[in-house]
C-alpha cells in the first residue's frame, strides 16, 4: 500500500535492529512478497526517540518507509499490531524466536517462497511461546526444510528404497542419507565406517511434523532425543543455505533443556 511515490507501507515482521552510527538504528524487516527490507531509523539511539520503543524484535506491524536518493530508505513510522512480548519472556523463547528470525533474514528467495515463509513465521510467532516452544521450533524447521526442497524420502532406504523396519537406521554423519541394515552390510561388511544410528520413529515423525499445524505442535510426542535429532538434521541440511540460522540453532542441539 502506497501513500505517495516516495512513501511505501508494508505489513511485515520486525526481524532485528542494530546500531547505525552514533544516533540511528538499522531496522531489518521481512515482508510477505519482498522478503527482507532494511530501513534507517533516524535518531532511534537517542534518548526520547519516538521510534525506539517500537523497534524491539520480534514484532509484527505496519512499517512506512520513505525512499530517497540513498539505497537504504528511512523508516518514517511504525504501527505495531503485536509486540510479541511472550517471545522475550525467557531464555528458551528468545532462542527459539532468534532461530526463526535468522531463517527469515538469511532467505534469498522468490516471492512465492517468501510468502510461504512469512506465513510459517507468523504461525510460529502468533502461537503461545510458553507452551512447547521447542516442539513448535521443530515443526517450523521441518516445514522450512520442506519449503526449501531439503526434506523427503527419510522413511525409506536411500539405496534400495524399501521402508525401514529395524528400530535403528544407519545415517551418514551429515544426516543427508539413511541406509537400511541390509544395504549397509552388503556395502561395508566389517569395514569401519563413520555412521550415526537414528531411531526409526524419529524418521517417521518427520512426515507427521510436515503436516502438523504449528498451533498443534505441542500434541506431538517429542522427547529430548527427537528434538535433538530434528535440530541436528536442520543444522546439517541448512548449513550451506542459511549459515546464520544454523549458528543460532546449534546451541539447542544438545542443550540441557532438551533432557
Selecting from 3.10.129.10, 3.30.300.20, 2.40.50.140, 3.40.50.280, what CATH number does the domain 2-83 have?
2.40.50.140
Rounded to whole angstroms, how far apart are CA atoms 32 and 194? 42
- Decide if pLDDT at 54 tops 50: yes
Look at 6 and 109; give whichever has higher pLDDT.
Answer: 109
Q: Do 62 and 81 touch, CB atoms closer than 8 A?
A: yes
Beta bridge partners of 66: 7, 74
C-alpha gyration radius of the chain: 21
Look at 176 and 108; give whichever has higher pLDDT.
Answer: 108
Rounded to whole angstroms, how far apart are CA atoms 179 and 185? 10
Q: Is the dihedral of CA 237, 126, 54, 35 positive or negative?
A: positive
φ, ψ dihedrals at 65, nearest 5°: -110, 135
- Decide if pLDDT at 174 tops 90: no
pLDDT of residue 63: 98
pLDDT band at 173 (very low <50, low <70, confident <90, very high): confident
Which residue reads 514484532 in cell numbers? Answer: 59
Lowest mean pLDDT among 177-181, 220-224, 253-257: 253-257
Collapse the DSSP code of 61 into the 3-class scheme (helix H, G, I; strand E, B; otherwise coil) and give the result.
Answer: strand
Burial of 50 (0-12, 13-18, 19+ CB in 10 A): exposed
pTM of the model: 0.92
Rounded to whole angstroms, how far apart are CA atoms 138 and 224? 11
Which residue reads 510426542 in cell numbers? Answer: 221
Mean pLDDT of the chain: 92
Listed in order, strand segments (DSSP E) in the chain are 2-4, 7-20, 24-31, 35-41, 59-66, 74-82, 168-171, 178-179, 196-199
pLDDT of residue 254: 74
pLDDT of residue 1: 45
Rounded to whole angstroms, how far apart are CA atoms 19 and 35? 21
Q: Which of 144, 63, 75, 64 has the alpha carbon at shortest distance from 103?
A: 144
Cell reading at 106: 538469511
Please state the domain extents for the chain: 2-83, 86-151+201-258
pLDDT tens sequence across 109-147: 999 999 999 999 999 999 988 889 999 999 999 999 999
- Decide if pLDDT at 28 tops 60: yes
Rounded to whole angstroms, how far apart are CA atoms 44 and 19? 9
Number of Cβ atoms within 10 Å of the Cβ of 244: 14
Amino acid at each position: 500500500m502506497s501513500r505517495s511515490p516516495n512513501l511505501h507501507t508494508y505489513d511485515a515482521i520486525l526481524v532485528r535492529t542494530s546500531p547505525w552510527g552514533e544516533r540511528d538504528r538499522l531496522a531489518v524487516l521481512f515482508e510477505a512478497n519482498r522478503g527482507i527490507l532494511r530501513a534507517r531509523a533516524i535518531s532511534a539511539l537517542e534518548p526520547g526517540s519516538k521510534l525506539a520503543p517500537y523497534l524491539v524484535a520480534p514484532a509484527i506491524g505496519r512499517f512506512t518507509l520513505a525512499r530517497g536518493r540513498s539505497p537504504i530508505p528511512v523508516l518514517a513510522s511504525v504501527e505495531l499490531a503485536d509486540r510479541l512480548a511472550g517471545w522475550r519472556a525467557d531464555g528458551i523463547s528468545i532462542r527459539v524466536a532468534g532461530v526463526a528470525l535468522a531463517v527469515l533474514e538469511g532467505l534469498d528467495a522468490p516471492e512465492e517462497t517468501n510468502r510461504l515463509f512469512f506465513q510459517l513465521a507468523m504461525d510460529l510467532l502468533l502461537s503461545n511461546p510458553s507452551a512447547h516452544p521447542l516442539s513448535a521450533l521443530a515443526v517450523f524447521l521441518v516445514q522450512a526444510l520442506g519449503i526449501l526442497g531439503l526434506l523427503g524420502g527419510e522413511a525409506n532406504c536411500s539405496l534400495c528404497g524399501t521402508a525401514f523396519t529395524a528400530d535403528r537406521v544407519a545415517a551418514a554423519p551429515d544426516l543427508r542419507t539413511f541406509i537400511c541394515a541390509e544395504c549397509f552390510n552388503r556395502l561395508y561388511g566389517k569395514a569401519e565406517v563413520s555412521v550415526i544410528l537414528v531411531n526409526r520413529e524419529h524418521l517417521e515423525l518427520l512426515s507427521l511434523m510436515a503436516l502438523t499445524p504449528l498451533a498443534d505442535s505441542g500434541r506431538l510426542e517429542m522427547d529430548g532425543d527427537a528434538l535433538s535429532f530434528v535440530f541436528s538434521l536442520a543444522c546439517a541440511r541448512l548449513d550451506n543455505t542459511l549459515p546464520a540460522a544454523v549458528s543460532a540453532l546449534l546451541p539447542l542441539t544438545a542443550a540441557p533443556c532438551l533432557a
